[in-house]
Amino acid sequence: MNHGSDRRKVTARGAMLIDSDLDWTGLGENSPFETASGRPVAASRGRGAAWFLEAGGRPCVLKHYRRGGLMARALRDRYLWLGEARVRSFAEFELLAALCALALPVPRPLAARYERAWGGLIYRCDLITERIPDARPLSEWLSEAALPEERWRRIGATVGRLHQARVDHADLNAHNLLIDHQGLVSVIDFDRGRVRGAPGRWMGRNLARLERSLHKIARSLPAERFTPVTWSWLLAGYASG
């Protein structure tokens, strides 16, 4: 496994990656995870549980990986150990680091860890990323007001940039697109994401997943919040991105 600029540290029950540009000197064995303090993310969606926190003097987000679907009730946050290269938090850390190096609008990964249990047969894992300042999910913005055309085009252009870089987001939805008060768009939650070798059907699947998400949110909102016209604005931005 190539960790690039991060550094790997063995812990009592597993291992941890830490961005080598940050100074975690003097923190405990599992820091910044064990020393972090914060509050749950009220708008946390999907499979992971997330908390806003301060770690290493920076505003961050900690995600604890949890299962979805039928396996969630039985295994919750436990994953079968298939080697360090298959650890979910390490894979997302690696991907985010690569995307940051390309100056794509994603959060910077700060630390990742896993801890093994049951004789090493299963593991649990976590990821800490830098918090994107003053940004809220697209779903929250839509719950408050209709977005102007320029905002929809910018959202589409952001997705277009990812696709131009061959980035396949496994769960592109209105909760994973963040917008700040200046209208800048960022993308989060790259669990199971990957960089593809070439364009393909996966790009259409990403867009279809986003459209389904927006339709689902719009069911409980005024009709003008998401319409065929607003979707066309997003696609226009995507084509130009």
- Same domain for 150 and 125, yes or no, is no
Last residue of a domain, one of 105, 130, 155: 130
Please report, as a single letter, which amino acid is at residue 34: E
DSSP states along 80-146:
E---GGG-HHHHHHHHHHHHHHTT-SSPPEEEEEEEEETTTTEEEEEEEEEPPTTEEEHHHHHHH-P
Annotated catalytic residue 171: yes
Q: What's the CATH number where 38 sits?
A: 3.30.200.20
Domain assignment of residue 225, given as a range: 135-240
Q: Does residue 49 have a pLDDT over 90?
A: no
Please state, in angstroms and as integers, the Cα–Cα distance from residue 197 to each residue in 25, 115, 194, following that order: 39, 32, 10
121 and 231 housed in the same domain: no
236, pLDDT greater than 50: yes
pLDDT band (50, 70, 90) for residue 35: low
Task: Choose one of 84, 99, 130: the last residue of a domain.
Answer: 130
Verify that 202 and 221 share a domain, yes or no.
Answer: yes
pLDDT band, very low/low/confident/very high, at 25 (cuts 50, 70, 90): low
Which residue out of 171, 180, 189, 191 is catalytically annotated? 171
Position with higher pLDDT, 2 vs 64: 64
Query: Which residues sit opposite 112 in a β-bridge?
Result: 17, 127
Cis peptide, bond prior to residue 32, ω within 30 of zero? yes
